[in-house]
Structure 1
Amino acid sequence: MIRPDLDRLEQVLEQLQVSSLRDTRGRLATRWQCYSLFFTLDGEGDVYAARTIYDRFFTVDDKAALRGVLDEWNRDTTGLKVYTATDDDGTVIIVSEATMHIGGGVTSEQFAATTTAWLNAAGSFHVWLSQRLALAGLPGEPA
């Protein structure tokens, strides 16, 4: 059993040939064409989390229809949950999140498999979202 840290996470991402950087908030970030994925381990190392911010921007007027689309994903899938967030300027964005409690430790294989699954889920959601936004009549192209 291991207690993962950002150095171990960096090693996992290197093995997966995924480039990453550490941001000023202590997260390990990966950048993709249409989204950014941030991995965190809380201060005590009890919770491992991945949060993805998608490069799609909406108005408050779009929020009700957008929530309907996201509710469909949340109802039909497990693991990766998605929601809207509103920036201070009123811009609505889409965020996905996954967490795993690791207080008692995990195996190296479990940690690597979870990281891989979260990377794949973020990409799968992006593809699904592109299709669903078009069907819902919402802006379908990333900004």
Structure 2
Amino acid sequence: MTTVGADPPSPTPETPQSGVIRPDLDRIERILERLQVSSVRDTRGRLATRWQCYSLFFTFDGDGEVYAARTIYDRFFTVDDKPALRAVLDEWNRDTVGLKVYTATDDDGTVIIVSEATMHIGGGVTSEQFAATTTAWLNAAGSFHLWLGPRLSLAGLPGDPV
């Protein structure tokens, strides 16, 4: 019985249950191999896939608690393009879930587009859940790329990747 006004019960420490795994980069590599997607490990310890117009990086935070996929698209803009670019990206963020997109500005002032998806995996996940999430993130990065070109053109921004 819970007392009115009492603090909610604290969650029990996360302990993996049977069928639950602690994913790592090796597991992602195996998933990508099954999907026939080539990958490499970069100097920063990320697992990367390269597509014609973007690169997708898979990472875990230092504690292995958060699994993330970050995509950098081969489209380059100026700071003056940011307001129109943000309006386009806001449309995607408003209408979709799971993959969020934003701008990043390099030291030289070049503006790029980045997408990101994350999943908390502190207590572990099932192998099936992890594979399905990884596959969904691959598909979402490609879907965003296909969606983006026409939207940029409508906004008067360069629609073709470099």
Q: TM-score range by the shorter chain?
A: over 0.9
Question: Aligned-residue CA RMSD in angstroms?
Answer: 0.5
Could you list the per-position Cα deviations for residues 8-39 of structure 1 after superposition, in whole angstroms to 9, with x for gaps in the alignment?
11101101100000001010000000000000
Give yes or no for the alignment of 1:116 onto 2:162: no
Correspondence for 1:16: 35
> Which residue of the other structure, out of 72, 93, 104, is the alignment partner of 2:112?
93
Instruction: Select between 99-108 and 37-46 the one with higher mean Cα deviation.
Output: 37-46
TM-score by length of 2: 0.87
Correspondence for 2:74: 55
Distance 1:83 1:57 in 2: 13
AA aligned to 1:136 is: A
Instruction: Give, in angstroms, the shift of residue 42 of structure 1.
Output: 1.4
Answer with 1 or 2: which has the greater Rg: 2
Distance 1:100 1:61 in 2: 33
> Which residue of the other structure, out of 131, 141, 146, is the alignment partner of 1:127?
146
Distance 1:6 1:121 in 2: 20
Instruction: Give, in angstroms, the shift of residue 43 of structure 1.
Output: 1.9
AA aligned to 1:38 is: F
Q: Whose helix proportion is higher, 1 or 2?
A: 1
Q: Note the residue ranges of structure 1 that are not aligned, 5 or more in a row.
A: none
Q: Indicate the percent of aligned positions where both proteins have the same amino acid.
A: 87
Aligned length in residues: 143
Deviation >6 Å, runs of 4+: none
